[in-house]
Amino acid sequence: MVKPSQLPRLVEAQRQAYRLVNSKFPPIALFDDVADADEFETLYQLQALTNPRLRNETGHLELISRSEIPFGIPGCSYATAPFTHVNPAGSRFSDGSYGVLYLASTMDTALAEVRHHQNRYWSNVPGLSYERFVFRGLSCRFNEAGMLDATSIPMTDPLYDPDDYTNSHRFGRLLRKNRTPGLRYHSVRKAGQHCWALMTPKPVTSIIQSEHYEMVWNGGISSVSSIGAI
């Protein structure tokens, strides 16, 4: 498997990308209510006195340095949430001990990625016959300066294994250890498209809500459709 040191580093460039989040998870207002880390600390301490749910809302703040949080941008909470609400089951470039912000080159690519993972997750839930899931579409702007480019790696490389993340977890740990801001790579679920794995939210300059999408489960994700704003 290729090593991070063998990959070219990307130059400064503003990119547009897309993401989906389950609509049952609201934005974290506290991140969007402040302009910098000092204001955040002050407001957090004040709210902690009266809001017993604050820890659940903000997540595990110890997992990310305040200096990495892009306070003051549109949608700061959307950029930060993956790093404080970490999926313990992991993902392609995380073993579940740290967060990654995944972005896709098109909304269709984001839908294909999420559809795959929803299919895999709900297939393991016994007794589920029919259900609908609503996702919030997000449009993200970020700077890919300093990120690594893995799009020259063939899809046969273990980094792109569709099911076994052993090698990509090892790769992700190296990215994190080296403080690499992110990785551009091929989408495994949408041929010809690519994704980014941001190891920090710092490169994000804005991330705003767009349309909502509904996925219908009927023994599998049987349909995906845009349902506009909610």
Q: Read off the pLDDT of each residue in 11-17 and give the average, rounded to a whole number.
A: 97
* H/E stretch holding 54: helix 54-58
The more confident residue out of 139 and 227 is 139
Nearest to 140 by CA among 102, 114, 109: 102
Per the structure, the complete domain to which residue 214 belongs is given by: 4-228
pLDDT tens-digit series, residues 170-180: 999 999 999 99
The more confident residue out of 84 and 52 is 84
Nearest to 16 by CA among 191, 204, 147, 224: 204
Number of domains in the chain: 1
Report the distance separating Cα 166 and Cα 94, nearest Å. Answer: 10
Count, residues in the chain: 230
Q: List residues bridging with 20 in a β-sheet.
A: 137
pTM of the model: 0.94
Report the distance separating Cα 195 and Cα 205, nearest Å. Answer: 17
pLDDT at 54: 84
pLDDT tens-digit series, residues 87-130: 999 999 999 999 999 999 999 999 999 999 999 989 988 888 88
Contact 76, 19 (CB under 8 A): no
Res. 48: pLDDT tops 90: no
Res. 230: pLDDT tops 70: no
Which range has the worst mean pLDDT, 70-79, 97-106, 116-125, 145-154?
116-125
3-state secondary structure of 174: helix
CB under 8 Å to 22, separation ≥6 — which residues?
133, 134, 135, 136
CB under 8 Å to 216, separation ≥6 — which residues?
130, 131, 132, 133, 222, 223, 224
Res. 215: pLDDT tops 80: yes
**Tokens (6 digits) for 40:** 């955040």
pLDDT at 211: 93
pLDDT at 228: 73
With cut-offs at 50, 70 and 90, classify the pLDDT of residue 147. very high
**Tokens (6 digits) for 75:** 């949608």
Contact 213, 91 (CB under 8 A): no
Report the distance separating Cα 68 and Cα 80, nearest Å. Answer: 9
Res. 229: pLDDT tops 70: no
Q: Read off the pLDDT of each residue in 188-198 and give the average, rounded to a whole number.
A: 97
Res. 28: pLDDT tops 90: no
Q: Read off the pLDDT of each residue in 23-44 and give the average, rounded to a whole number.
A: 89
pLDDT at 31: 92
Q: List residues bridging with 21 in a β-sheet.
A: 136
